[in-house]
Amino acid sequence: MASLRVSVVLALAVTLFTSPVYADDPVVEIKSGKLGGKSVEFSHSDIDVQRTVHVFKGIPYAEPPVGDLRFQPPKPKVPWEGVHNAANFGSACMQSIEPLVPVQEPLSEDCLFLNVYAPQVDDSASLPVMVWIHGGAFIIGSGGFRYDGTALAATGDVIVVSINYRLGPFGFLATGDEHTAGNYGFYDQIAALRWVQDNIAAFGGDATKVTIFGESAGAISSEYLFLSPLTDGLFRRVILQSGSASLPGFVSTDTATQNKIAHGLGKLLGCDEDSSDELVKCLRTVPAEDFIEPSDMSSGLLANVTGLDFEIESSPFPPVVDGKFVTEAPATLIRERNFNKKDIDFMIGTLSDEGMTYCMFFMADKLNQTEVTMDRDTYEALYPAVLTKRFKNNPAVLDAIKLLYVNWEDADVEDADYVEAFSHMQGDQFFVCRADQSARAYSLAGANVYLYQITHAPAKSIWPCTWLKAAHMEEIPFVFGWHFVQEMEWTMPKEDVDLAVEIMKYWTNFAKTGNPNSPSSNDDDSQTSWPLFKVPGLEYKDLSLKMETKRALKAKECAFWNDFIPKLMKHTDSDSICSAVDDDLHLQKYKEEANVDPSQ
């Protein structure tokens, strides 16, 4: 079907519906059957846009992954009769309740739903499509309420799709063998993208102009999808917001550890079986809600039963190198530019204070303060604890990190503040320099790459405190225009509203053309023009009130993390073959001589 076809729903047909759909609401027919959505009249006093957006929520894109379908790739949705009511969000996937990042939807293992926000169009329209993949460390989150795409669709003239995918053990449990290969959350994402290819034309969308975008674990997912050989033809562009597939803790190649974790979970759930086959059969009979506490890192149960030390930035159920969805560790694929998609456009970026989110978790007792400080003793105790395993046990690396990030001009001052040192160390290690690594690799491979950093501290934080500045996740209200979405009840001052409008333009322009600049923008105007990131050159956009073009973002720090630290470890950590994982000269020796996870 070429575009959205709105039909008048006859009263006598109401008995066929899952629940009532009313006469002024849109009905669209996709391959699985008919959907009844809602018409939303979008307008706001702070923006000159008036648009009808057709909203379809809770669309099942696969069969419920329950019973024998637990720990299996998703199965195509069986067609339904009548009109499926798509007025409300479907259930979020099973997860622990996180007060700082709550989900509004009920939890269920039956959670493979997506949502479509489509501007009303005529039959000839064919709009670009933006598919949002939510974050949450692969253990929490949903594609629902928080990511309402109405404002982005209405102001940018694009179709926005947001998706759920399985989390925690339901999405990523692996036994290290053929019985449970893992990565089911990624296979859910692929199924959702195939649904878009098969059905988006019915909503007025162009299946050849699909952009995948996500934040944190959503960005990690997006880069994994790019690196996977299973996703050819499913998207044309990628936006990575504060996340990279090379992030330590979010990949496992150690099948022995995967098996140990799976059997440890089994012990906690009454499935103390010897073989993987019997373990998986038993785990499929356990009620879904029973998985939550044992698989929650904060409970410590899985660490105790396995004797493993799970890192702060990782999950006990990470993505795995399974030889099918992904063939090698992402860091290796990126570094060696070993990817078969050569015509993908990229927008890659971070925020200037990513690491402040870690400060918030470690200083939860100070959330109500207007500002915070960190003394030297606290810094000395904390900073090694939040480094990856391969760093924290190497004294030379610890000293080098401290040398770079401590403000030595004030190091002898008794009340010197170390918050900035802690925050930037974390932000650079996990986000900024991973983005730099990806941007360089894709640009050198010939892709169009646009790099950004958001330095503007929002007047209202997404987190329950006021001192985080431009921290992790703070771009979400700007990208989705929360100020313009009535249900969000999110008010911004004028300068933040103006920035949100510009960011939404950049994102939707990129989805349309692969270039965030408006077609009519003046290339000489640094306020609007966003240059390509190239090596050399290294230009990027500072997304702030001034919208300046800058160059060489954190060049010294990223040379430190991406080049110097691997070499330092090679020469100082002779007892650990892991130190060679990021060094090209030692990569083959590592693979041949050690059965360890190269992310550790």
Q: Please name which of 35, 22, 229 lies closest in space to residue 113, comparing C-alpha atoms.
A: 35
> CA-CA distances (angstroms) from residue 480 to 57, 377, 562?
17, 40, 32
354 is catalytic: yes
Residue 472: active-site member: yes
d(CA 185, CA 168) in angstroms, rounded, equals 9
N-term to C-term CA, the chain: 49
Residue with structure tokens 């001009």?
409
- Residue 197 and residue 111 in contact, taking contact as beta carbons nearer than 8 Å: no
Q: Exposed, middle or buried: residue 556 (CB in 10 Å: 0-12, 13-18, 19+)?
A: exposed
Report the residue count for the chain: 600
* Residues 82/18, Cβ–Cβ less than 8 Å: yes
Q: Where are the alpha helices (DSSP H) in 317-473?
A: 330-335, 356-362, 376-382, 389-392, 395-405, 419-427, 433-444
Are the C-beta atoms of 57 and 115 separated by less than 8 Å? Answer: yes
Q: Among residues 91, 216, 315, 461, which one is catalytic?
A: 216
The answer to whether 164 touches 93, Cβ cutoff 8 Å, is: yes
The SS3 call for residue 583 is coil
Query: Choosing from 354, 474, 475, 557, which is the catalytic residue?
Result: 354
Name the catalytic one among 472, 475, 483, 557: 472
Residues 206, 129: contact at Cβ < 8 Å? yes
3-class secondary-structure state, position 497? helix
Angle at 405 between CA 534 and CA 137, to 5 degrees: 70
Write down the residue that tokens 């610890």 correspond to.
Answer: 398
Question: Cα separations (Å) of 418 from 82, 346, 414, 425?
Answer: 62, 35, 11, 11
Residue type (1 letter), 397: V
The two structure tokens encoding residue 477: 């209200």
Is 93:167 a contact under the CB 8 Å cutoff?
yes
Write out the catalytic residue numbers.
216, 354, 472
